[in-house]
Amino acid sequence: MRVLGIDPGSETTGWGVVEGTGRHYRAVEYGAIRSAPGQKFSARLLQISSGIEEIIARHQPQACALEDGFLATNVKVTLKLGQVRGVAMLAAERAALEIHEYSPRRVKQTVVGYGNAEKRQVQEMVRLLLSLECVPEPHDAADALAVAICHFHHAGLIQRIMAAEAGIKLTASAAVRRRASR
């Protein structure tokens, strides 16, 4: 499976593509979509959308893992972050990717083992987990890789739950068929 991790930001949107199965994975490529200082916000959104669409076309991921929004102290920042997340989700949806959202706390808990971990701790764990020679730069790209790693750890659980639910439905429908045939 190939996962595109995204750390949305209105000035810098980090992205990382991770490939693997279960808890065995590797970084394919990572980077950031940067906006020019003073660029209109609508132009930034277009640049982010185009950038994500290009990454999806180049790497063909099956899923998109996106860092969920958080409440910033500045309402305008929170609203802009929501708009960037919306653009990223739209690009992923257009490509028919599975979309999964993870809170920053869940990502830190999964990658570092501590939900209040500092950025440098997350970056170092990403480096170790992906066997990279150095910490991914910029930090937005490291965060995006962390979101993708988080998805790998939780995707197996999601699949097991869905399989269990499907099994319950199958068992229930078989029981109904048996009763109906009597």
Which residues are annotated as catalytic? 7, 67, 140
The whole-angstrom distance between residue 18's C-alpha and the CA centroid of its chain comes to 10
Which burial class, exposed, middle or buried, applies to 166 when counting CB atoms under 10 A from its CB (0-12, 13-18, 19+)? exposed
Q: What is the C-alpha to C-alpha distance for residues 42 and 48, in angstroms, rounded to an integer? A: 10
Q: What is the C-alpha to C-alpha distance for residues 32 and 17, in angstroms, rounded to an integer? A: 12
- Comparing C-alpha atoms, which of 132, 157, 98, 143 is closest to residue 8? 143
- DSSP annotation of 68 reads P
Which burial class, exposed, middle or buried, applies to 127 when counting CB atoms under 10 A from its CB (0-12, 13-18, 19+)? middle
